[in-house]
Each structure stands twice: as C-alpha cells, then as structure tokens.
Amino acid sequence: MQKNVHHYVIMSVLVIVVTILTYWGLNVLGLMPVQASSQAVQIDWLFDIEVKLIAFFFALIMVPLCYSLVVFRQKEGDETDAEHIEGNTPLELTWTAIPLVIVIALGIIGADNLRQIKTVDPQAIEIKVIAQQWKWLFQYPEGFSSTKLYLPVNQQVDLKMQSQDVIHSFWVPEFRISQDVVPGSIEDYRITPNLLGNYKVRCNEMCGKNHAYMESDVLVVSQADYKTWVGTQALSAKATEMASAGKPDAGRGQTLYQESGCPACHSLDGSKGIGPTWKGLFQSQVKLTTGSSVLADDAYLTESIKLPQAKTVAGFSVNAMPNFSYLTDGQVADLVEFIKTIK
C-alpha cells in the first residue's frame, strides 16, 4: 500500500488540473447568449455551480481511467493474471452517500432559485400574448396590439400567454426562461429585462409547418422610450379604431385576414380547408350541422368570427376554430367587409 501512495498523489493533482481546464474550456466556448434579465442572473448562478460539479466529476472519472491505461498497462512478457477484487463496502457507501448529498443540496438550492425567479412584483406591467400558427401577437394594457414586443428595462412584466390553436412555447434565450403556451389555459411568464437590446422570441415547441419561422422581435428599451412608444401606439390605434367605427374597410380586412392567421383554415379560391372557404360566402345559404340553413349576412359572419361555436357549418368540426374575441368590433367589421369582396 505504502508504495502506491504516489499514484494517488499524482492522480489527485491531475484531477484538480483537469477540473480547472474543463471548467475554463466550457466557459471559453461561450455557450450562453448574453444575460438580459434579472432571472437570467439567478439561473446562470445555479448553472455555474452545476458546470463546476460536472467538470469535477468528469475529471474524477477520466483521470484514473486514462492514468490506469498508461501506467498500469500489461508489461511485455508479463503473463500473470490481474488481482481479483470482490467488492469494497466502504468505497460503495462513499460513492452512494456523496452523490446523494449533492443531489439533495442541488434540489434545495434549485427550489429556492425557482422561488426567486417567480417572485411577483405587484407593479408588473401585464401584457397579453397570443400565440397562433405561426406568429406572436402582443396586446398592451393601453388598448393596442403589436407584432413586436417592446419592454421597458428594469421593470417586471407579466406576460399572460394564450394559444389560439396548438401548443407553442415562448422562448427568449437571453432571458433564459422558456414557457409552453397550452391552448385552453393562460400561462404566466414573468421577466425583468435588465439589458437594453434587440432580441428575438422563438417558438420552442414543434407546432407545424412554419414552426421554424415563428419568431418576433423583442426590444428592451429605456423606460422613457417605452412610455413614448406606448403613447404613439395608443394614439394611432385610437385613430384606426375611430376610422373603422366610421366605415368598415375591405383593405384593412384583407391585412387582418393575413395577420390573424385566417388563411390556415379559410381559402379564398373555393377549396375546402379546415374551415369553409370564403369564396362566394356572403349572401349564400349555409347548411348547419343541425340540418337547418342560415343566410350568410353581416350578423351571421360577425357572430361566426366572435363566437365560432354558436353555429357550426355541416361537414366541419365544432371546435376547429378558436375564439377571436380579442378582435375589436371595428376589426371584425373590416373582416366581414373583406369577405363580401370574395365572390
């Protein structure tokens, strides 16, 4: 035993060196994008502890393995068998107990970390996020919506997220947090951006053909710039709303048709999709699942957009269409006006 001590000393030194090199190497690779939220600071702190442990255990396994391969290889002419070992109780207890303690400790630290990340700021700005194939829409409390997410720096926002169709996932790598958006429920996503800059929200859940392109700009701006932007948007939304209240416009309706995801289900050329085509729809007799017919007038079209489940067209599924209750009356009127032009 005495004559083997130097092997342990050399391996211990090598384990320390390899641990440091592995940890340094992983950091040099720069696997993480910039840290742009206070939640990211918490998450990266925990992640760093885990990477250090990973580096150490990697060294603890690889160093004795490689050392043995080199130093204890079979000498030429040595035909003797190796020593047979029948288990080692103290060693097995040690390698069970230490990882157990580490895992429990990480569990406690992780739970506390999660508590800090989920801390609720009563002053948080609430922004509604609508996910649908294949775009994001952001509705601000001031009564306008935007396809880009503007956020003020150093202020918690509470994103209330909902899906119009399938499961999507809201993911801004620089914020570190990813949250699934499941149809039928509203998911909270609390974030406190702490670094000015332009980022991107990507969809992190396979959601169909254009999943890869489901991304939007996320702009973290100063609190003053945010106020200015919100003011301008609210004003122009008001102007548009007043204009639509005056008279519906088929042009605006056509833009909405594209922006609200209608083409995914409703064709304009008469072909059957997930929902009825819009070609020749206005003033036609529509057969319903109940067996009766209804005239496709303004009232019917408006109701079908706002409350799709009220009347179901024969041959289509009752729950295929989500509720578009977030559209304003003016926007619905614009859409109906557009439908009238598809003859």
Number of residues in contact with ligand CUA under rule CB under 6 A: 8
Binding mask 214-243 for ligand CUA (x = CB under 6 A): x-----------------------------
User: Dihedrals φ, ψ of 178, to 5°?
Assistant: -125, 135
Per rule CB under 6 A, is residue 266 in the interface with ligand CUA? no
Match 């935007």 to its residue by tokens. 146
| Residue span binding ligand CUA (CB under 6 A) among the ranges 45-53, 74-82, 199-207, 283-291 | 199-207
CA-nearest of 319, 276, 317, 269 to 300 is: 276
- Binding of residue 135 to ligand CUA (CB under 6 A): no
Distance CA 222, CA 237 (A): 22
Minimum CB distance to ligand CUA smaller for 24 or for 213: 213
DSSP-derived secondary structure for 106-159: HHHHHHHHHHHHTPPPTTPEEEEEEEETTEEEEE-TTS-EESSEEEETTS-EEE
Q: Write down the least CB distance from residue 186 to ligand CUA, Å.
A: 17
**Residue 203 binding ligand CUA, by CB under 6 A:** yes
191 lies in the site for ligand CUA, by CB under 6 A: no
The alpha carbon of residue 40 and the mean position of all alpha carbons in its chain are separated, in whole angstroms, by: 15
As a whole number of angstroms, the distance between CA 169 and CA 201 comes to 9
Q: Does 172 bind ligand CUA (CB under 6 A)?
A: no
Stretch that binds ligand CUA, among 92-100, 204-212, 278-286, 321-329 (CB under 6 A): 204-212
Question: Which region, judged by CB under 6 A, interacts with ligand CUA, from 36-44, 88-96, 206-214, 244-252?
Answer: 206-214
Q: Is 211 in the site for ligand CUA (CB under 6 A)?
A: yes
Q: For the CA atoms of the chain, what is the radius of gyration? A: 30
Measured from the CB atom, is 17 or 206 closer to ligand CUA? 206
Closest by CA to 250, choosing from 268, 277, 275, is: 268
Query: Which of 101/206 has CB closer to ligand CUA?
Result: 206
C-beta of 31: minimal distance to ligand CUA in Å?
23
**Is 176 a residue that touches ligand CUA (CB under 6 A)?**
no
* 109 vs 320, beta carbon nearer ligand CUA: 320
d(CA 139, CA 324): 13
The piece of 148-156, 207-215, 284-292, 306-314 that touches ligand CUA (CB under 6 A) is 207-215
Residue closer to ligand CUA, measured from CB, 59 or 207: 207
Q: In the bound complex, what is the minimum distance in angstroms from residue 212's beta carbon to ligand CUA?
A: 8
Nearer to ligand CUA, 11 or 201 (CB): 201
Paired residues of 162 in beta bridges: 130
**Cβ proximity to ligand CUA, 165 vs 337, nearer residue:** 165
- Using CB under 6 A as the binding rule, whether residue 207 contacts ligand CUA is answered as yes
**Residues contributing to the site for ligand CUA (CB under 6 A):** 134, 168, 203, 205-207, 211, 214
